């Protein structure tokens, strides 16, 4: 236990001897004169300190708002050598380091380990807390304080759907006070994540309506989802049938320019007004169908379209078609991108070339390309493109078992995805984080991230197969054969079995 200051030690000693002289017992219920509301979000696995009190968010944000536990009480608990009570008292007082000192030499026990997890949560060590809590729940599945705290840890990691499930599990078996708060927390988490998911899909549908029918794009959605909206903006410019249609896109260009800074999209729009709209009308209609199709064009169809677009002097349609066909890594796209000078197209070209290097087995070349372009795109105000490259970089490092670098890239990308409200990209990074944890043999983190990926895509058979197969392998590596068999039995038979060296599966359609 960390040392107390001299004045506090003296006061505690006086209180201790006063208690000894009086020989008056101090019942546990009287040891903690709890305030009406709690400032500690986590739950303590010591009965008298775990009585339900509403959480006071405003009070919790004030450093001096910790629960006052009198020194006489602290001395009494010290004399009794009640480790759990003393650790709880220190945590209530807002002194996690002192609580850690009390628990340092205490035995491994579900209640004490739960208290240790609270120490780590209070220190901001969320991953360490999660490992402890999973260990507690493996030994004591019904431990409600551990389940609650696991929900807090998952929420702190941004795994909102899994956190909601944890609080729902608490609500299923708790007393009225904790039950109500658990339900409120779960409902709030699910509402936030469902609203984001729905709004992201609304933005995507609005983009498709813009391409298919020329319907106006809601500017509030553009402000919230600038990355995916910029994808549709470029395609909308490509398929515009007239100058009037281009001018119709002026507010959207201005909104996106305001977010990134500069006026590159407004300039892009003005440059498009010089086109021969009549000469390219049929090609533009074909391209719109291509962009909205569920699958990429065949190599033959792509080649034919590109040749005709070149004849029509429509380089923007050539570029769009090359992307739709997965050819943005080629020299033809690179040359056209360089002519535009648009950082978005330049980043997309570099990313495509890096993927080609990976496919050719030239991983070092790919890494150099990605790192150089990440530095450029970070300065160019195009976080969506940076996010996509961080995902490729994380997967590259994972495949090479350079797991420290993989984790760093995945964390950067996840932060970018969340900053841009990119629901799909965030979900991909969550699965990649689970993959990296799996390769590092970190069961608790792998389970947390992979469960979240599965809860976000519950109907995707390939994700189910991957998640349960991955967890089964981790259990097997840890010689937990029964647990490995249980996870393997949950994996549907919808794809090839997972090998020990598999990286995350390409279950997604890349958005470029």
Helix (H, G, I), strand (E, B) or coil at 38: strand
Res 353: pLDDT: 98
List of E strands, 163-214: none
Helix (H, G, I), strand (E, B) or coil at 55: strand
Per-residue pLDDT band for 57 (boundaries 50, 70, 90) equals confident
Q: Which of 389, 387, 357 is nearest to 370 (CA)?
A: 389
pLDDT tens digits for 212-247?
999 999 999 999 999 999 999 999 999 999 999 999
Q: Which of 324, 316, 338 is nearest to 240 (CA)?
A: 316
Phi-psi region of 17 (alpha: psi -120 to 50; beta: other; left: phi over 0): alpha
Predicted TM-score of the model (pTM): 0.86
Res 17: pLDDT: 39
For the record, the structure tokens of 384 come out as 């969506």
Per-residue pLDDT band for 65 (boundaries 50, 70, 90) equals low
Q: CB 73: neighbour CB atoms within 10 A?
A: 21
**CB contact at 8 A, 334 and 353:** yes
pLDDT tens digits for 333-382?
999 999 999 999 999 999 999 999 999 999 999 999 999 999 988 788 89
The Cα 146–Cα 64 span in angstroms is 26
The Cα 449–Cα 429 span in angstroms is 9
Mean residue pLDDT across the chain? 88
CA neighbours within 13 Å on the CB side: how many for 336? 23
For the record, the structure tokens of 365 come out as 């070349």
Res 122: pLDDT: 96
Percent over 90 (pLDDT), the chain: 71
Please write down the HEC assignment for all residues of 222-280. HHHCHHHHHHHHHHHHHHCCCHHHHHHCHHHHHHHHHHHCCCHHHHHHHHHCCCCCCCC
Q: Quick check: 390 pLDDT over 80?
A: yes
Q: Quick check: 11 pLDDT over 50?
A: no
The Cα 181–Cα 171 span in angstroms is 8
The Cα 271–Cα 283 span in angstroms is 19
Count Cβ neighbours within 10 Å for each residue of 296-314 and write b for 16 or more, e otherwise: bbeeeebeebbebbeebeb
The Cα 170–Cα 147 span in angstroms is 7
The Cα 274–Cα 282 span in angstroms is 17
DSSP letter for 438, please: H
**CB contact at 8 A, 467 and 453:** yes
Q: Dihedral angle at the C-alpha atoms of 300, 302, 304, 310, nearest 10 degrees?
A: -150
pLDDT tens digits for 91-112?
998 999 999 999 998 999 999 9
């Amino acid at each position: 236990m960390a040392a107390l200051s001299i004045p506090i030690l003296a006061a505690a000693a006086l209180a201790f001897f006063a208690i000894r002289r009086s020989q008056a017992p101090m019942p546990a219920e009287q040891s903690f004169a709890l305030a009406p509301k709690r400032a500690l979000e986590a739950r303590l696995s010591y009965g008298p300190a775990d009585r339900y009190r509403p959480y006071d968010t405003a009070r919790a944000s004030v450093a001096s708002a910790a629960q006052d536990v009198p020194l006489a009480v602290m001395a009494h608990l010290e004399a009794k050598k009640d480790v759990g009570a003393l650790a709880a008292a220190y945590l209530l007082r807002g002194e996690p380091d002192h609580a850690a000192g009390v628990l340092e030499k205490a035995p491994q026990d579900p209640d004490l380990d739960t208290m240790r997890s609270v120490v780590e949560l209070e220190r901001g060590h969320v991953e360490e807390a999660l490992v402890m809590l999973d260990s507690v729940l493996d030994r004591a599945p019904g431990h409600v304080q551990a389940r609650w705290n696991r929900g807090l840890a998952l929420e702190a990691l941004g795994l909102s759907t899994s956190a909601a499930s944890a609080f729902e599990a608490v609500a299923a078996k708790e007393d009225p006070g904790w039950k109500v708060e658990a339900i409120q927390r779960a409902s709030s988490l699910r509402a936030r994540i469902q609203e984001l998911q729905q709004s992201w899909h609304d933005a995507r549908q609005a983009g498709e309506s813009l391409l298919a029918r020329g319907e106006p794009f809601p500017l509030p959605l553009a402000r919230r989802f600038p990355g995916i909206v910029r994808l549709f903006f470029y395609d909308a410019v490509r398929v515009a049938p007239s100058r009037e249609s281009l001018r119709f896109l002026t507010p959207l260009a201005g909104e996106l320019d305001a977010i990134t800074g500069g006026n590159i999209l407004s300039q892009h729009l003005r440059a498009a007004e010089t086109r021969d709209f009549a000469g390219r009308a049929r090609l533009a209609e074909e391209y719109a169908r291509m962009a909205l199709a569920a699958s990429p064009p065949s190599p033959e169809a792509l080649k034919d379209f590109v040749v005709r677009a070149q004849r029509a002097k429509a380089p923007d349609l050539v570029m769009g078609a090359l992307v739709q066909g997965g050819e943005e890594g080629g020299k033809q796209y690179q040359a056209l991108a360089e002519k535009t000078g648009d950082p978005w197209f330049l980043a997309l070209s570099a990313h495509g070339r890096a993927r080609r290097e990976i496919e050719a087995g030239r991983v070092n070349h790919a890494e150099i390309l990605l790192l150089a372009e990440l530095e450029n795109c970070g300065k160019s105000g195009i976080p969506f493109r940076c996010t996509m490259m961080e995902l490729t970089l994380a997967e590259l490092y994972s495949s090479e078992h350079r797991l420290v670098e993989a984790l760093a890239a995945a964390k950067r990308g996840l932060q970018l995805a969340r900053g841009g409200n990119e629901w799909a990209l965030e979900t991909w990074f969550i699965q990649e984080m689970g993959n990296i944890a799996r390769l590092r043999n970190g069961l608790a983190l792998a389970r947390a991230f992979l469960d979240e990926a599965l809860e976000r895509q519950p109907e995707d058979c390939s994700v189910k197969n991957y998640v349960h197969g991955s967890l089964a392998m981790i259990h097997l590596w840890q010689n937990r054969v029964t647990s490995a068999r249980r996870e393997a039995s949950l994996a549907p038979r919808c794809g090839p079995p997972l090998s020990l060296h598999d990286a995350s599966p390409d279950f997604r359609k890349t958005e470029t």
